[in-house]
Chains A and B, each alone.
Chain A
Amino acid sequence: MSYRGRAKEFLKSQNISIGDIISIKKDDTEYMGMLLDRAEDADELHIVLKMDSGYNVGIALTGSEVKLLEKGDKPEINLPLLEIKRDPEKMDVSIISTGGTVASIIDYKTGAVHPAFTADDLLRATPELLDEANISGKAIMNILSENMKPEFWVQSARAVADEITEGADGVVVAHGTDTMHYTAAALSFILETPVPIIVTGAQRSSDRPSSDAFINLMSSVAMAKSDIAEVTVCMHATENDNQAHIHRGTRVRKMHTSRRDTFNSINSPPLASVKDGRVKIIDKTFTPRKRGECQLDVNDSLEEKVGFIKSYPGIAAELLDYHIDNGYRGILMEGTGLGHCPDHLIPSLERAADEEIPVVMTSQCLYGRTNLNVYSTGRKILSSGVISVGDMLAETAYVKLVWALGQTNQLEEVKTIMQTNLKGEMDEKSSSKYFLRDYGE
């Protein structure tokens, strides 16, 4: 029970617990209903009652006379286990949950929302998935995506690899949306995969009938059955519930705090679209790896001590110095424009080079590529040893640096890795198509 302090004491002294039917008299008014649990961050001066009408109300303890009418059980959710027969005609798709609520269960007696993580919960909420494939599900962790870190990327990658080893024809990773693109990039670099791996999630939680989870999951499973053996992100293509986009895991970014079509491919079109269960290639310039083309391989040694610094007017060199002095093994910079930072940072950049700490330069413009040859500052930054990575997204470059430093400790090798296209994360060519804006003019 989440009641604290005074409320907790009070309820205890009256021998009242959650689920009990009680009456509260206050002046001339009498409230009757079931005692509900209270949010953990709420104050300790009120108790919550669910009235017959279905409404919840908070009632201040002060001046209240409480009477127990009927002892109740704290409602429990005991859903029967599912027995699902494997259909040999269908493909096998695994769904791995890392957190976020892929499914929720609403307890209509109390109105409480319970996040549900098990595969069964997921299938109860989305039985249509079974029409598409044999689904097996696993909840490997339960963390909000802002709390992700490199060691969890490794954990996720290994779980995906296990599913592939056990014969999955495709793997869907359910993930919170905030850092979904970091995880997608990490899986891209860690895994050589013979089957599709799709990261998906929901912008509107599954405790609402309008959740986007359903279409995202259905489209992800369709993609998991395809021949495109890449790590991708599958989310709504537009605000409409009828189409999803498949983005390369190394090219995608969360671009809106709340819209369901928040994920965009940057400096590249989406790889494909999914509509009515059909996958259609959009990016014809990219040759995706085909199913079964390579053997499963896991390169999961990472270097967690990598800094991420954004250049801004007024930035002090001590920010860089701090990372150098505190044992950071690599620094990712999000420069301004073509990949710049103020020239008073150059001595610190040179220090990093002396310490053999790679500094990788990307651009906070998001669209376009870095080019440090155009202005004198750029050339100075370049000659201080900074690694420019062209049109790679800063978040992808950060993940790649974490991975590259896990593969080698040779500065030159890190530079080669960072500047070589491994998983479609960079391209030499910029197309006018890759910059979207439409004001309806």
Chain B
Amino acid sequence: MDYEKLGLMMGLEIHQQLNTTKKLFCPCECELTDKKPDYHVLRYLRPTQSELGKIDRAAFEESRRELTFCYDAYPHHTCLVETDDEPPHPLNQEALEIGLIIATLLNMTVVDEFHTMRKQVIDGSNTGGFQRTGLLAIQGHIDTPYGKVVIENLGLEEDAARRMGQRKGKVEFRLDRLGIPLLEITTDPSMNRPEQVREVAYQIGQVLRSTRVKRGLGTIRQDLNISIREGARVEVKGVQDLDSMEQLVKNEVTRQLKLLEIMDELKKREAQVEDTIHDLGETLKDTESKIIAKALKKDGKVLAIKLNGYKGLIGKEVQPGRRFGTELAGYAKKMGVAGIFHTDELPAYGITSHEVELINGFLKIGENDAFILVADEGDKARNALEEVQRRAIMALDGVPEETRKALDDANTEYLRPLPTASRMYVETDIPTQVVSRELLEYVQANLPELPKEKEARIIKEYNLSEDLAHQLVRQDRTEQFEEIVAECGVEPTTVASLLAYTLKELRREGLDVEDLSDSLKGTFQLLKQGKISKDAVSDVLVGVLKENWTPEEAAGNLNLLMLSEENVRDIIVEIVSSNEKLITERKMGAMGSLMGMAMKELKGKADGKLVNKFLKEEIQKYL
């Protein structure tokens, strides 16, 4: 695909949770919990009256959608700030400082005075009905092999509540995530190659990892803005996996191209969407389709619309496995119906070809015309078809601007229209804060090492292999590594390889290696003192973790303490004397087999070199 020719433009938006001790506007810890909530709070949200305010009943009903929000709350894990029963506390200065570090590393200009804003969000994910957010820095850049990319904005904001589920009109959220500090980093939409987006995401990720940010699933969220010249801007939410980004971009560009093709064909056919919504209750009253029969039985309706000139196009694939009909269905589903039936897939789903004929007759369907059918409660079905009409009309203009959700198969699915003029107003409960130039200078003078710099330094300083150094940095174990080497004086490569590889293996076996803390040092001290061998380190740690022993106890109990030279010699003498025959036959050639036997017995309890030396001496005594 020639992206350049297509005029592909992409911008990246990254949300990263910070690893602060407290939340952005209250003293709660920034940890999620799976504990059963202790109580629930029930709330409604109403949009605030704007300067354009009229008594617009319809708008009110629509915006409320009669949703009740139910928040999972805890007496101590969360507090009254999250339940919106206490004003926010002053801005978390630790989070601000991390923001300043990131701003500096991204070559940005920090604002002189930070203003906390309210961004109205009434889907319930924020108990106040708005997200608190502020602009911390602007106009930075990073360099990539594909050119310079401008970082437009760095925002400091609070994370939203965690959505747990929805039953009918009641949406459940958990308050644990609400208020965790987030940095929002947005680039300009100048990127035109998927590899570049990947590179930028990677580089920003590296910068973020140089300081106190959360790690792991769900702690970083990436959105991609994407458009082609003839298409439209689409915001793809929740791009989890950088590896699938290329495919995702390809699929989205394909979708936009296909929608353009559909537009051309529709224009050629002078296609048009009829307003009328028809009731097919009479026509289909004896249908064999279970879905339709069920809807009719429950006093529902089966309604249909006519799309003149759309035949054949609704079934056209726009993304792998997704058709233009899927796009139409996406809009219908927002109104609460399970799906739609369309001409291009019928007869099917129990709707017979005879019934299709009946419908075609009833709706006076022409050669190129299509119909869409929905069976559900009357209002729901009607709203759904109105949405389908709206979307079908948009198809005449090509690609609509939308917010879409990234799917696991690198496709995207309709979420909501793009947010219009951002509804932001001041958070009057938080005073504005001058970002002190002294603080900024302090931050600039004490920047953390970037991962790449750190890697280069430890390779040089400790003579580590590139791979080991890379692993230590990636796993965020450099600090631990340097501490152990400094305190225990063990050979750096040994420490590094244990931290980088052995711990990973132990974790894979289901052990919680983060519990080790001081036992790691204890174990390395045993190694330094010659009390255990290199090979025994891993087993000692397993003992520590599984049995809750100290490293000494583990070494003792597991019989891993090194034997004295005298004991080692005794064992070797024993081995040699019971293998006299072998030695007579093979002379020094018996060395290999005997060494194997000796090590089997002495592994972890004696140094291999020592065993080798004693064995040689003992064999020679027989020759």
Task: Name A residues whose Cβ lies closer than 8 Å to a Cβ of B.
Answer: 26-31, 39, 42-43, 46, 48, 51, 53-60, 75, 77, 79-80, 82, 103-109, 111-113, 116, 121, 123-125, 127-128, 203-211, 214-215, 239-242, 257-260
Contacts and interface: CB of A to CB of B under 8 A. Distances in A.
B41 A108 contact: no
Nearest to B425: A111
B425 A106 contact: yes
A209 B128 contact: yes
Interface of B: 41-51, 53-55, 57, 60, 80, 83-87, 109, 111-115, 117-120, 122, 127-130, 133-135, 138-139, 153, 155, 421-426, 428, 432, 434
A108 B55 contact: no
Contact of A258 (B85, B134, B421): B85
A109 B421 CA distance: 9
A-B complex: 10 closest residue pairs judged by Cβ atoms: A58-B113, A209-B129, A54-B422, A54-B424, A55-B135, A111-B425, A240-B42, A29-B109, A60-B112, A56-B115
Contacts of A28: 109, 139
A29 B51 contact: no
Given A46-B113, A209-B48, A58 B432 contact: yes
Contacts of B119: 54
A431 B114 CA distance: 54
Contact of A127 (B57, B153, B432): B57
16 contacts: A28-B109, A46-B434, A58-B111, A58-B113, A58-B434, A107-B425, A113-B428, A121-B49, A124-B55, A207-B48, A207-B428, A208-B48, A210-B127, A211-B46, A239-B83, A259-B85
Given A57-B111, A111-B424, A208 B128 contact: yes
Contact of B45 (A54, A77, A210): A210
A243 B112 CA distance: 45
B60 A127 contact: yes
Nearest to A211: B46
Given A79-B51, A108-B50, 6 more contacts: A26-B109, A56-B135, A106-B51, A206-B48, A209-B47, A259-B80
Contacts of B49: 103-106, 116, 121, 124-125
Given A108-B423, A258-B80, A27 B109 contact: yes
Contact of B44 (A107, A127, A241): A241
Contacts of A210: 43, 45, 84, 127-129
A31 B138 contact: yes
Given A207-B428, A214-B46, A56 B51 contact: no
A123 B434 contact: no
A127 B133 CA distance: 30
A214 B49 CA distance: 12
B432 A42 contact: yes
Contacts of A215: 44
A75 B50 CA distance: 13
Contacts of B42: 240-242
Nearest to B139: A29
Contacts of B128: 204, 208-210
Nearest to A76: B51
A113 B44 contact: no
Contacts of A260: 85
Given A42-B432, A209-B46, A210-B129, A124 B425 contact: no
B54 A204 contact: no
Contacts of B54: 79-80, 124
Given A39-B432, A208-B118, A242-B42, A53 B153 contact: yes
Contacts of B135: 51, 53, 55-57
A211 B43 CA distance: 10
A241 B220 CA distance: 33
A108 B421 CA distance: 9
A105 B118 CA distance: 14
A176 B163 CA distance: 34
Contacts of A113: 425-426, 428
Contact of A209 (B122, B138, B139): B122
Given A29-B138, A209-B130, A242-B42, A53 B426 contact: no
A117 B54 CA distance: 16
A245 to B, nearest CB: 16
Given A29-B138, A241-B44, A57 B113 contact: yes
B115 A208 contact: no
B84 A59 contact: no
A75 B128 CA distance: 26
Given A80-B54, A207-B48, A55 B43 contact: no
B55 A127 contact: yes
Contact of B112 (A54, A57, A242): A57
A143 B119 CA distance: 29
